[in-house]
A = this chain, B = another copy of it.
């Protein structure tokens, strides 16, 4: 939280978050496409990574901003509005979700073009992983999509199977630490698959 921002020469800066910006979780943010006028705001988030959900190449000025601030780009090329409408690709969303739940990538910004449909579906799937009840998940999707909400996105979120993600998580560790108040942190450990050993056939 920043109350007063100052530049190096002590002038006040007015901060402009990207369109449709909001905080999803501690260390997870979402928005529409960031423009150069949003860069000074984005710097205050101390981002480690960005999940970009469109197939179009990332603009040069945005790439330069990421590089200058040591922010990693994860691009998952999901098509936007198509005619006829195509289904959201489950496997791609699952790949993005794997990046998203890994706290080593946090703080992280998820964005597509408007932060409504592709971003909304990914966040919706995250909420399912977090055990949010479905009506709350859909309410959040709709709040961020506004009048542009799509029934097929709601269906996608509802039917998205999170079991496959859970299987790739070995353990979730809460660590409580605080400075006057409790604060939670999620640690994420790599999956260690226990391969069953071949057994001798019983006679």
Residues of chain A touching chain B, judged by Cβ–Cβ distance below 8 Å, are: 1-5, 12-17, 19-28, 41, 46, 48, 101, 103-104, 106-107, 129-133, 135-136, 139-140, 143-144, 146, 166, 169, 172, 174, 179-186
Contacts and interface: CB of A to CB of B under 8 A. Distances in A.
B140 A46 contact: no
A2 B130 contact: yes
Q: Which 8 A-B pairs have the closest CB atoms?
A: A16-B133, A23-B23, A46-B182, A1-B186, A14-B133, A3-B172, A17-B136, A1-B25
Given A3-B186, A12-B131, A23-B26, 7 more contacts: A1-B130, A1-B184, A4-B172, A16-B135, A22-B22, A23-B25, A46-B182
18 contacts: A2-B130, A2-B131, A2-B174, A2-B184, A2-B186, A3-B130, A4-B172, A5-B131, A14-B132, A16-B133, A21-B136, A23-B26, A27-B181, A27-B183, A46-B181, A46-B184, A107-B182, A146-B146
A181 to B, nearest CB: 5
Contacts of A166: 3-4
A24 B1 CA distance: 10
A170 to B, nearest CB: 12
Nearest to A21: B136
Contacts of A139: 19-20
Nearest to A48: B181
A172 B16 CA distance: 21
B4 A140 contact: no
A181 B46 CA distance: 9
